[in-house]
Amino acid sequence: MKFSQLLIPTLKEAPNEATLPSHIYLLRGGFIQSVGSGLYNFLPLGKRSLDRVQKVIKEELDKAGAQEVSLSFVTPASFWIESGRFEKYGKELLRFKDRKDSDFVLGPTHEEMMVNLVKQTVKSYKQLPLNLYQINLKFRDEIRPRFGLMRGREFLMKDGYSFHANEADMKREFDLMEATYKKIFTRLGLDFRVVEADSGAIGGSGSKEFMVLADSGEDTIVVCENCQYGANIEAAIRQPKEFAYDTNSEFKKVHTPNTTTIEEVSKFLDISADYIMKTVAKKALYDGGRSEIVLFVIRGSDTLEETKACNAVCANEIVDISDKELFDAGLVAGYMGPLNTPKNIRIVVDDSLKDASGMVSGANEADCHLVGASSDQIENPLYKDIVAVQENDRCSCCGGRLYYTKGIEVGHIFQLGTRYSEPLKAEFLNEQGKTQPFVMGTYGIGVSRLLAAIIEQHHDERGCMWTKESSPFDLVIIVSNIKDELQSKVGQELYSKLSEMGVAVLLDDRKERFGFKMKDFELIGIPCTVVVGQKLHEGKVEIVMRQNLQPQEIATKDVVTRLKEEFKW
């Protein structure tokens, strides 16, 4: 294709709201155009990169035996009501009515739709297993759309769903998808890590995320210095720590004025934060608008992990609570504790506090704390892991040091079991002739987010540096001075020859200065350019790799062979 004919509206400056390199360069390089909050048009270059990324995904999935389908984006709300998610999904789910007043949603994910598809077409174990996927639009009315393609409202996702006769077969497919995803992200040239992920209230290790390592990532991941362990902080676990408790300390109430923080209590009573029971009050929100106050009790030296806390009480969400709400419930801000708590308030205690004694806790009375308290005095505690792993904690697999790093979630695979097939009554006849719900897995990739993730990892101060299989073109030929007949002719010939070989070539034939074209090459970030310029009279052209921008002279007659070697075309 010829640059002079393509719509590539490069910009000198990015709009102010763009702060991440990927957002800035995708806008400036003329890949995408903003339409509204979290909404983008893909321009020719952006569409080409998107297509190439999709091609890699499709090739690897097809090789693994998955079949591509395309589901209706507009989904009848009845599917979502049946699965129980119509309410649960909250405001991210865009709901609307048609002219007949029927309810619909724009699919933010397609479990319901896919289960219905299979329910109607698969009746026997003989038709299993089955792995169906699509690469299609999703809409989520995200509360904070930002960072360009990273967190859009309308975005492109690959979503796959597998159906099995039993758990063991679903696990086999889960492992196959993990291996397939690794191939995909490796081909795309990404430095990524597979980590344990939050599996919601179901728990367990049935969910993994694929994280592209980048400082700008929105997710904190916990990794081990020593072994392969890695987990999203929402799911990370650590080796239990040992504590020496003072079992002889007398249980009593003490006057502790102006000590509303752990630090102040620790100082006032001269006790390490490890031996203080910190009580965090939250409001848990459930289906049907029901809510309740929950007290989460953790060690003073720990912090509450909100996803874990939410899962512990099987809530849809947990939110902060105002001082007035606390007061109305009979609680005293700054002096809360799990003992002598007003009746009927649910108490969740962190696992690490089991058997803790000689502890300090708020007395549920202003300016007072209890000392010599033990966790077995707590009435009806629910013990759960609700704390965030901290840096320098020890790995539960090998004892190695754990540390934090940042990641961009580009994929998520999940062992679903019968979570959807049961409520949606999607059943088949098993080998014994009995009806049984399908055992399912689900597998997602953020396709449009991948473009942003690739650029976050591959850019410099001049612009994008696309990886081989994600670049909109394989190569650019820059004709330095288009008015020079020889340069123009050689550029054209090279362009035709490479195009015939199936190489995706962009010919920069614009009537612009060489420096201007070079700047666009650097901004757009195609991996390589051949510059046809002055040196042509000596029978030479230049090859410049975007990686290092070092020109290498080469005899014009050898350039094709050299490129073939370099790129293995």
Q: Which of 28, 119, 151, 510 binds ligand ATP (CB under 6 A)?
A: 151
- Does position 152 interact with ligand ATP (CB under 6 A)? The reply is yes
Binding mask 25-44 for ligand ATP (x = CB under 6 A): --------------------
- Does position 190 interact with ligand ATP (CB under 6 A)? The reply is no
Q: Nearer to ligand ATP by C-beta: 106 or 410?
A: 410
Candidates 241-249, 284-292, 403-411, 522-530; binding stretch for ligand ATP (CB under 6 A): 403-411
Contact of 444 with 158, CB cutoff 8 Å:
yes
147 φ/ψ angles, rounded to the nearest 5 degrees: 60, 35
- Does position 161 interact with ligand ATP (CB under 6 A)? The reply is no
Q: Nearer to ligand ATP by C-beta: 140 or 510?
A: 140
Candidates 186-194, 314-322, 406-414, 552-560; binding stretch for ligand ATP (CB under 6 A): 406-414
Q: Could you give the CA distance from residue 320 to residue 310 in angstroms, rounded to a whole number? A: 12
Binding to ligand ATP in span 101-120, by CB under 6 A: 109
- In this chain, which residue has its C-beta nearest to ligand ATP? 446
Q: Nearer to ligand ATP by C-beta: 371 or 413?
A: 413
Candidates 152-160, 303-311, 373-381, 529-537; binding stretch for ligand ATP (CB under 6 A): 152-160
Nearest distance, CB of residue 447 and ligand ATP, angstroms: 8
Specify the DSSP class assigned to residue 81: H
Gap between the terminal Cα atoms of the chain: 19
- Does position 446 interact with ligand ATP (CB under 6 A)? The reply is yes
Q: Could you give the CA distance from residue 111 to residue 558 in angstroms, rounded to a whole number? A: 54
Q: Nearer to ligand ATP by C-beta: 143 or 168?
A: 143
Encode 158-169: b = buried (16+ Cβ within 10 Å), e = exposed.
bbbbbbbbeeeb
Binding mask 336-355 for ligand ATP (x = CB under 6 A): --------------------
φ/ψ bin of 364: left (φ > 0), alpha (ψ from -120 to 50), beta (otherwise):
left
Q: Nearer to ligand ATP by C-beta: 313 or 445?
A: 445
Contact of 471 with 455, CB cutoff 8 Å:
no
Nearest distance, CB of residue 47 and ligand ATP, angstroms: 17
Q: Which of 45, 410, 454, 482 binds ligand ATP (CB under 6 A)?
A: 410
What's the one-letter identity of residue 383?
Y
Closest-CA residue to 158 (of 183, 137, 141)? 137
Specify the DSSP class assigned to residue 289: G
Q: Nearer to ligand ATP by C-beta: 90 or 240?
A: 90
Nearest distance, CB of residue 535 and ligand ATP, angstroms: 45
Contact of 439 with 155, CB cutoff 8 Å:
no
Contacts of 270 (CB under 8 A, 6+ apart): none
Please, what sign has the CA dihedral across residues 418, 424, 428, 432?
positive
Q: Could you give the CA distance from residue 529 to residue 47 in angstroms, rounded to a whole number? A: 21
Q: Could you give the CA distance from residue 473 to residue 239 in angstroms, rounded to a whole number? A: 49
Q: Nearer to ligand ATP by C-beta: 177 or 293?
A: 177
Nearest distance, CB of residue 368 and ligand ATP, angstroms: 41
Q: Could you give the CA distance from residue 307 to residue 436 in angstroms, rounded to a whole number? A: 32
Binding to ligand ATP in span 121-150, by CB under 6 A: 140, 142
Q: Which of 119, 449, 510, 546 binds ligand ATP (CB under 6 A)?
A: 449
Q: Could you give the CA distance from residue 309 to residue 382 in angstroms, rounded to a whole number? A: 11
Maximum separation of any 2 CA atoms in the chain, in Å: 97
Nearest distance, CB of residue 449 and ligand ATP, angstroms: 4
Number of residues that bind ligand ATP (CB under 6 A): 15
Q: Which of 21, 417, 444, 525 binds ligand ATP (CB under 6 A)?
A: 444
Tokens 């801000």 belong to 333
Contact of 473 with 504, CB cutoff 8 Å:
yes
| Chain residues in the site for ligand ATP (CB under 6 A) | 109, 140, 142, 151-152, 155, 157, 409-412, 444, 446, 448-449
